[in-house]
Amino acid sequence: MSRAELSVFIRSLGVHAPDRKLTNTELSAMVETSDEWIKSRSGISERRIAGAGENPSDMGAQAAAKALARAGLTPADIDLLIVATMTPDVPFPSTACLLQAKLGLRRDIPCFDISAACSGFVYALQVGTDMLRSGNYRRALVIGAEKLSSVVDWQDRATCVLFGDGAGAAILETTATPDVGVLGNLLGADGVNAELLHCVAGGSAQPASEQTLRDRQHFLRMNGKEVFKLAVRVMADSCERVLKGCGKHSDDVAWFIPHQANIRIVEAVADQLQVGLDRFPINLDRYGNTSAASIPLALEEAWTAGRIKHGDLVLLVAFGAGLTWGATLLRWHEPSP
């Protein structure tokens, strides 16, 4: 079957979030903040925090196992593994290779990480889709897994209130059915603005040292005001461009699944697209910003709740450090048993 004849759709989803919930009230005992202050600026009420021994590969394995079980598949059925993360278990090997071993996937398949921060899942979807359309693979496991609590400065109230941990997994599969699954996608980046959301130390440019530890340079740093403005503009533009490329309009879309960073960003994007907020499933109030895990967590929740139906147009859109952004338009496909 040729590349042009293949459609790629999401056959199954699975998610995992740590058991521990950190509420705004609990945070107010750690830094100078309050439940009202956090909610009014972000919409977040609580977030999940992973334990000391609970790593992105562990959370990703839990999410993937659920997706496999729902699809009635085994690890042997997976031909490709892509993990989106900005908080890998270790600098190397890849978290994907660690996950391959934990899941018991075949030992001859390609496994690799993608680092695009909060846009990571959308990036991984496009890479996975294109690799499946090559005809060399049948099924791909795409995972977004993050332990942001490990890179958050818990003394910085501007950032520590925003982030949480979790993982989401999607099984991509090819089909000869036309006009289903991934209809179009768009990715972009602007490295000129990299310092708006970054981590200074820990890489080869500034390896860990006593000085970098004293200066707290291993934690996430963000210019929230500038990130907000760019996020709204680029997310709205990405939606419009991918819809135009597919010959669709925002009115055709049943559900917009945005990166769950901040309710004010989502509201502003909805306003620019002239779309009601009721078509944007929101769960950031309970999870906070989980970066690459954000979209699969929200997508799975909407799907399992029965909100997303067969044939619906679903638009995923994200923005993250890099700066990166991306959008993917799907026609939701539920294959016959």
- Angle CA 142–247–260, to nearest 5: 40
What is the DSSP track for 59-113?
A: HHHHHHHHHHHHHT--GGG--EEEEE-SS-SSSSS-HHHHHHHHHT--TTS-EEE
77: tokens are 């059925």
Query: Which residue has 């859109």 as its token pair?
Result: 317
User: 16, 111, 239, 259: which one is catalytic?
Assistant: 259
To the nearest 10 degrees (0 to 180), the angle between helices 120-133 and 294-304 is: 80
- Angle CA 319–322–323, to nearest 5: 50
Closest CA to 232 of 262, 257, 254: 262
User: How many whole angstroms separate alpha carbon 90 and alpha carbon 315?
Assistant: 32
User: 111, 118, 160, 239: which one is catalytic?
Assistant: 118
Annotation says 97 is catalytic: no
Annotation says 118 is catalytic: yes
Q: Contact, 318 vs 168, CB < 8 A?
A: no
Annotation says 199 is catalytic: no
User: How many whole angstroms separate alpha carbon 183 and alpha carbon 126?
Assistant: 11
Position 196, amino acid: L
User: 24, 185, 262, 289: which one is catalytic?
Assistant: 289
Among all residues, which ones are annotated catalytic?
118, 259, 289
